[in-house]
Amino acid sequence: MMDWTDRHCRFFHRQLTSHALLYTEMVVADAVIQGARERLLGFDDVEHPVALQLGGSDPAKLAEAARIGEAFGYDEINLNVGCPSDRVQSGTFGACLMKVPDLVADCVAAMKATVTIPVTVKCRIGVDEQDPELALDALANGVFAAGADTLWVHARKAWLEGLSPKENRDIPPLDYDRVYRLKAKKPNEFIGINGGLQSLEEARAHLDHVDGAMLGRAAYHTPGILAGVDAAFYGARPEAFDFAGLIDAMADYSARHIERGGRLGHVTRHMVGLFHGLPGARRYRQILSTDANRPGAGPDVLKTAFAAVEFGGRAAEAA
Ligand SMILES: Cc1cc2nc3c(=O)[nH]c(=O)nc-3n(C[C@H](O)[C@H](O)[C@H](O)COP(=O)(O)O)c2cc1C
């Protein structure tokens, strides 16, 4: 998610779940080819498994960007066919590609011919006046024929005119059944669902119908739910999560980031929702939203914020 799932966010989320597949922000193929690669693509080894999401519609450029992503060590290349922003439309990529499924298939084929890691696609059920029955089938048929390894479907349309990107994530109604019907037609392909999932229980329920579930905003705003992922979906033994250990790990990570010239707030801005619902969470959030952004703030601010949180009536330090 652009501006959200940067490397600091992914490092943090990886402390909460060892197994969930994490996605980068979308990076446009041209930027990967021409831009400051280390800044755009650099990531920490602990982030694995991590997928690089690309934006673009030129098969040769996407293939080159995918090659670079694979060489950087990414575990998967994902093509964005779902983002509706104006900036993205002007570059002919994102959701408007729902209208040109053959071109999307060419993009997938070019990337598949270039890399050995999985190539996946994330799309909508349709855009504008498209009939989702036809549009999603056409897109899915094309990308799977081209060798796509997974199709993630954000289960709502995007309206390319008239709705902002934010509105396009809320206003067009969710239609999970449309994604289930696609899966029923394609039992041998990996099809995942996305859009509006608020909890691991909701994610679990979808797995009766599709192969995977992807959480966006809920994972970002209430990252504590990720602490249950490994036990719920990957067979890990359910055990109390060590939040004190997490804060120590994030404080160490922040210290390394600050040493390299970064700021504490770059890391902690992704952590404000961590203790959502617990006593003291408000104070924790306040400290991270203010003190952590002051010039010169150090990792001790994170520990001070954590000390405000109570677990079962005990201050975090003692928990
Ligand atoms: C701030 C923000 C940035 C996003 N950036 C991307 C992006 O770069 N690529 C993408 O495929 N989806 C992006 N999305 C969409 C989400 O991946 C997801 O499809 C959408 O929010 C619906 O899922 P959710 O209800 O679980 O959040 C973004 C969403 C938000 C809120």
Tell me the per-residue pLDDT of 101-116, one tens digit each, with 9 for 90 and over. 999 999 999 999 999 9
Q: Which residue has a Cα nearest atom 16 of ligand 1? A: 216
1 Cβ inside 6 Å of ligand 1: yes
* Atom in ligand 1 nearest the alpha carbon of residue 166: 31
pLDDT of residue 86: 66
270 alpha carbon to ligand 1 midpoint, in Å? 15
pLDDT, tens only, 218-236: 999 999 999 999 999 999 9
For ligand 1, is residue 95 a contact (CB within 6 Å)? no
d(C-alpha 90, C-alpha 83), whole Å: 12
- Same topology for domains 7-233 and 243-315, yes or no? no
122 lines ligand 1 (CB under 6 A): yes
pLDDT higher than threshold 80 for residue 91: no
Domain map (residue ranges) of the chain: 7-233, 243-315
Q: Which residues are catalytic?
A: 83
Rounded (to 5) percent helix, strand, coil in the chain: 50, 15, 35
CA angle 90, 168, 28 (to 5 degrees): 40
Instruction: Specify the pTM.
Output: 0.96
Could you tell me if the CB of 215 is within 6 A of ligand 1?
A: yes
CA distance 53 to 76: 8
Q: For 7-233, CATH number? A: 3.20.20.70
- The pLDDT tens digits of the residues spanning 297-307 come to 999 999 999 99
CA angle 159, 160, 165 (to 5 degrees): 80
* Ligand 1 midpoint to CA 1 (Å): 5
Q: Is 197 in the pocket of ligand 1 (CB under 6 A)?
A: yes
Second-level CATH architecture of 243-315? Up-down Bundle (1.20)
Give the closest residue (by CA) to ligand 1 atom 10.
Answer: 1
How far does the centroid of ligand 1 lie from the alpha carbon of residue 114, in Å?
A: 27
